[in-house]
Each structure stands twice: as structure tokens, then as C-alpha cells.
Amino acid sequence: MEPSSLAELGKSIDAAADALDVDRLSELTVVSQNMAASASDDERVDLHYFAANALGAISHIKQRNDPDYAWSWRQEEAINEVLALRTAINDPSFQHKDIVRRCQIRTNLGNRLNSLGRCIEAIEQWNEVLATIPHFAMALGNKAHCLVYYSRELYDDGHQLVLLDAALKGFNAALAEGAFWDSGPHPRAEAQFRERAGEVGRYLEWAGYEPISDPNAWSLGKSKAERLYRKWCLSEGLFLNPLNDALSDSIAAADVFHLPSHTYKIDEHARFPAYFNLLKQEYVSARYRLYDAMNEQERHFSDNDVLLFETFDGAILRYKTEQLKAAYRTTYGLFDKIALFLNDYFSVGMRPDDVSLRKIWTEKVKGSPTYTLRQPFQDSRNWPLRGLYFLSKDLFDPAFVESAEPDAARLAALRHAAEHRFLTLQEYDAREPSNDTLSYITEEDFEAKTLRLLKMARAALIYLSLAMCREEEIRREKDDGEEGKLIASVPGIPRNARPRRRR
């Protein structure tokens, strides 16, 4: 007999998880999704949450039965869990749900993203929780765990120690009196937090780490305009700097992240720093275009004496609107260029015209409609690379049905409209119908989507560099002393560099 209420459904999922019954959990996932299709606003978010819990339980059971499953590149349950949790968050009724339920959903989303190697996006979810309930224990402790793993992937020792210090503070906050445990005391989690806090504390002591006395002592620029811009970047977590994932202080207000040291054959061109330079410059330029468009104060002089007809569709026609579209186009284009980087670095062998971040990972099995992982990625235990792979699931491609982002098709359609069709940004929703030639979206919604893309692109750029760092370690371990290699130190001598000064 199928459950007929939320309470019964929740109990059924818990019972199936305790019994390690994958078949029953799969059935209950479908039941949850079917119930959500016709549920009231009040129940719909919970039903997506329950579906995610069932999918998460299946994933945990598979990992329990096969320890190597955690490294699998094919984790449909995990991807669908992310999709279910995001669907709950995107639901219009989410903001009206109980505050604890909202925090549980975001905490679980952070947990799952982190397990897939997407540590930066996981931290963003936990930060949302802690902005709502600052002493939410599971968000504090899991974020601290994530910062420990993140620090291990960094090639800068100083950044490693700062992230570990932030992790230690997170563990201590989770263990402090007054920490909020949403489902009551959790002895196992507390024990893990306490054990890891001890390990991190001992390591920091061994390393002689001295906490930064004033992380806001670094200059944010000479002009008021620059300072406001950099404060916005800090608050949104947009600097290409791992410190900005742990801090929003001025010490993190610099795009210092680049590539690790890596090797070339003696006759190879050292091209990867040039690729990354261009990726960084396009990213930071798109970032400023978005900021500038969002903070327009005055009409730009280039809009003066431009004759335009009133079309009564709420259209906003001005220079800054085109800057906003340019920021979107540039940001979306970064994903294809990151794929080109991967194609070259991992010697994937795809034609450049065929490369995209969604297509780079797999190829069709001959004589079959199915896809298989490309050879350079098979059996790879590169955590940041897997993070980049699972991030690609947020991008839409008609050749792939699977997606972890409910809005993926809409984001891709907006890019296509901005590049090849007519895209109108509106001051208000005039209810004008879109078609294959002309599309409408409110300026506010478009700004939010551009910011979301920017955060995704930032994460992808950091994962790319960290994946390269890990791959270089793997290659060194496999190196049999082959002659004819030259170690290139990256970033080497920075271009246009100026020392960052304290105030």
C-alpha cells in the first residue's frame, strides 16, 4: 500500500533506508515526484525534499556496498538528488516554508554538491543556511569538513592554512553550547567534528600558524568606485581567490589564483598559462560589466539623441542593458573555452569545433545510443576534475537528457537569444509572448541569472586549476624517468602586477 500523506511517506522512506531496500526507495522516489505534481503549495517543497532523501539513501547504500562507488563518474541518484533539492529551492513557496526546513534543504544540497567535488558551490549553500540560522550545527560542521578537503587541493601553503583556520572555527562553533541540531543531538556527527577539529588544531600548531590579526587591513583601492566594486565582489564571493570562499575580508579581494607548476615536453609550447590568462581576463571583465550595469546611476551619453520607437512591451533600451547582455554572453562562453583547455591538456582529441563542457567527457559507443567516459578520464581519482565534470551537468545540451539544474534549458536559450536572436530586457513583466525570434525577460531576472552564471564560472575556473594541480601530481607519480621534459613554474612573473598593500 502506497503512502497517502506526507507523514506516511516520510516514515516509509526512513524505513526503506534502514532496511537498505533500494527497490523500495526507488518506488518511493517516484511516489514523491508524482505526489508533488498535484500537491498544494504548502506540501510541494516537502515532497521534493522527500524525493531527494530517498535518492540520497540509495546513493549511500550503493557506496556502503561498494566503497569505490564514491569515485564513480556515473551517479544518477546523486545528480537527481541535486535536481530535486534545487527544484524545492526554486519553488515559489520555498520562501514561505518553515525556516528549519529551508535550512535542512540547503544543508543537504551542500552535502551532496561537496560529495561530487563541487566544494565551492557547497560552501555557498551552507553560507545561505548560516545567514539564516548562524548556529546551525550541521551546516557549520559540514562546511568545516569541506574547507579541510578544499585546503588539501591548494598549491599555496598560505592559503591552505587560512582555510584550515576557518575550518577549525567552524568545527568549534558546531560543537559549542547553543549550537542548533535540527534533528536533535547527533553523537556520531559530534564525534567526527571533535576528532577533525583536534587534527586541524594540531596541524596548525605544528605549522606554526599565526592567525591574521586584521584580515581587513588590505586596501580595496584608491577611489570610492573601486572600493564599492571590490566590496560587492567580496560579498558575492566572486574573486578568483580561494580565500574568498572562507572570508569576505579585504585580504581576499584579489584575483590571485592561477595555474600550478606543470610540465611540458622539451619541444612543447608553454601555452596553458596563456589560456588561463585569457579565461581570467574575460571572467573579471564580465564581472565588472555586470556590476556596472546593476549599479547604473546615470544615463550613458552614448544613448543621447538615439531615436527609438515606443513598442509598449516594457523594453529597456540603453547602453547598460547591452553591457548586461555582453556579461551574460561572455560568462556563458567561458564554459566552452574551459572545455578547449581540457581537450588540449588531457589530449582528448576532439575537433575544436565540436568541443563543449557538456560533450568533452563522454563519447558514443559505436553501434549504440549510449555514451561512455572518454579514455583520459577513465578511472581518474581527481576530485576537482570530478567537480568540473558534475558542474557540467548544470549546462543544457540537447544530446543529453540528464541535468542537475532545473533552469538549465532556460539559461542556454537565453544565451542563444542574446547571441543569435532578439532578446528584450523589460522593466516589468509585460506578459509579451516569446517566440523563436524574439524573447523577453525582466532585467531583474536577467541580472540574477547572470550573477548565477558568474558564480558557476568562477567555480569552474578554480576547479580547472585544482584539477590540473592534482593531475600533475598523478603524472609525477607515474613518471618513469622519461627524458625530454621541462618543468615550467606557473604563474612565474605576473604581468601588470603590483604589490597589495595594507591600509
> What pLDDT does residue 301 have?
86
Question: DSSP character for 155?
Answer: S
What are the pLDDT digits (tens) for 346-402?
A: 999 999 999 999 999 999 888 877 889 999 999 889 999 999 999 999 998 887 777
Cell of 143: 562546511
pLDDT-derived band of residue 267, with 50, 70 and 90 as boundaries? confident
Q: Are strands 422-426 and 438-442 parallel, antiparallel or unpaired?
A: parallel
Question: How many CB atoms are located within 10 Å of the residue 379 CB?
Answer: 9
What are the pLDDT digits (tens) for 93-106?
A: 999 999 999 999 99
Which class for 311: exposed (0-12), middle (13-18), buried (19 or more C-beta within 10 A)? exposed
Question: DSSP character for 95?
Answer: G
CA–CA separation, 349 vs 429, rounded Å?
46
Closest CA to 123 of 354, 470, 436, 458: 458
Burial 244-260 (b: 16+ CB within 10 A, else e): bbbbbbbbbbbbbbbbb
What are the pLDDT digits (tens) for 18-60?
A: 999 899 999 989 888 888 888 888 899 999 999 999 999 999 9
Give span(s): CATH 1.25.40.10, the chain.
Answer: 6-206
Residue found under cell 551552507: 126
> What pLDDT does residue 494 have?
46
Cell of 25: 526507495
Least confident of 32-36, 128-132, 172-176, 276-280: 32-36
Cell of 428: 516589468
Q: Are 264 and 488 in contact (CB under 8 A)?
A: yes
Q: Are 288 and 226 in contact (CB under 8 A)?
A: no
CA–CA separation, 218 vs 253, rounded Å?
8
Residue 95: which residues within 8 A CB-CB, separation 6 or more?
102
The pLDDT of residue 299 is above 90: no
> What pLDDT does residue 480 have?
58
Q: Which residue has the higher pLDDT, 382 or 477?
A: 382
Q: Are 316 and 443 in contact (CB under 8 A)?
A: yes
The pLDDT of residue 87 is above 70: yes
What are the pLDDT digits (tens) for 120-157?
A: 999 999 999 999 999 999 999 999 999 999 999 999 99
Percentage of residues in the chain having pLDDT higher than 70: 95
Domain 6-206's class? mainly alpha
Question: How many CB atoms are located within 10 Å of the residue 157 CB?
Answer: 9
Total-model pTM: 0.94
> What pLDDT does residue 502 have?
60
> What pLDDT does residue 495 have?
46
Q: Are 343 and 352 in contact (CB under 8 A)?
A: yes
Closest CA to 402 of 366, 371, 428: 371
Cell of 494: 605576473
Length of the chain in residues, anyone?
Answer: 503
> What pLDDT does residue 67 have?
83
Q: Are 449 and 329 in contact (CB under 8 A)?
A: no
Closest CA to 258 of 337, 155, 160: 155
Q: What is the mean pLDDT of the chain?
A: 90
Cell of 156: 599555496
Residue 1: which residues within 8 A CB-CB, separation 6 or more?
none
Instruction: Assign residue 117 a region (left: φ > 0; alpha: ψ between -120 and 50; beta: otherwise).
Output: left
pLDDT-derived band of residue 482, with 50, 70 and 90 as boundaries? low
Angle at the Cα of 172 (from 134 to 125), degrees rounded to 5? 40
Question: DSSP character for 261?
Answer: P
Question: How many CB atoms are located within 10 Å of the residue 40 CB?
Answer: 7
Task: Provide mean pLDDT across the span 329-342.
Answer: 98
Angle at the Cα of 268 (from 265 to 272), degrees rounded to 5? 105
Residue found under cell 512591451: 313
Q: Are 391 and 118 in contact (CB under 8 A)?
A: yes
Q: Which residue has the higher pLDDT, 497 or 141?
A: 141
What are the pLDDT digits (tens) for 393-434?
A: 999 888 777 787 888 899 999 999 999 999 999 998 888 888
The pLDDT of residue 484 is above 70: no
Q: Are strands 485-488 and 262-265 parallel, antiparallel or unpaired?
A: antiparallel
The span from the first CA to the last CA of the chain, in angstroms, equals: 68
Task: Provide mean pLDDT across the span 165-176.
Answer: 97
Q: Are 331 and 457 in contact (CB under 8 A)?
A: yes
Residue ranges of alpha helices (H) inside 207-317 are 224-236, 272-294
Report CA-CA distances (Å) from 131 to 86, 102, 126, 256. Answer: 18, 12, 9, 27
Closest CA to 447 of 331, 300, 338: 331
| Cα 156–chain centre separation | 21
